[in-house]
């Protein structure tokens, strides 16, 4: 068990911020939150070498709302939960 494992899981799984292994350095980010466990919202921010990257999601009025921020000159692929 690594002490950072929980934090990494929260960023990668709950908030959905994940580095693209084919394009390291957060030039391309995968945003794919996986809500569950009774959570109704989550928010996370990463300061990368290119700038701030963030993901915030919540369930609103029977729908799913996702707000993301990525730095200029970077790209993201967004995958919404089922």
| DSSP-assigned states of every residue in 2-56 | -TTHHHHHIIIIII-EEE-TTSTTTTEEEE-----TT--EEEEEEEETTEEEEEE
User: Tell me, what's the pLDDT at 70?
Assistant: 97
What digits encode the pLDDT tens for the residues 17-72? 998 999 888 899 999 999 999 999 999 999 999 999 999 999 999 999 999 999 99
pTM: 0.86
User: Tell me, what's the pLDDT at 4?
Assistant: 77
Cα dihedral 32→18→47→76 (10° resolution):
-60
- The full length of the chain comes to 82
pLDDT grade for 1, boundaries at 50, 70 and 90: low
> Which tokens sit at 43?
């928010």
- The CATH code that applies to domain 5-78 is 2.60.420.10
User: Tell me, what's the pLDDT at 5?
Assistant: 87
As a whole number of angstroms, the distance between CA 16 and CA 44 comes to 9
Domain extents in the chain: 5-78
């Amino acid at each position: 068990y690594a002490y950072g494992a929980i934090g990494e899981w929260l960023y990668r799984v709950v908030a959905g911020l994940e580095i693209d292994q084919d394009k390291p350095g957060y030039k391309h980010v995968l945003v794919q939150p996986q809500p569950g466990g009774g959570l109704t919202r989550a928010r996370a921010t990463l300061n990368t070498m290119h700038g701030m990257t963030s993901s915030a999601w919540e369930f609103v009025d029977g729908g799913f709302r996702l707000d993301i921020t990525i730095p200029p000159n970077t790209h993201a692929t967004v995958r919404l939960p089922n």
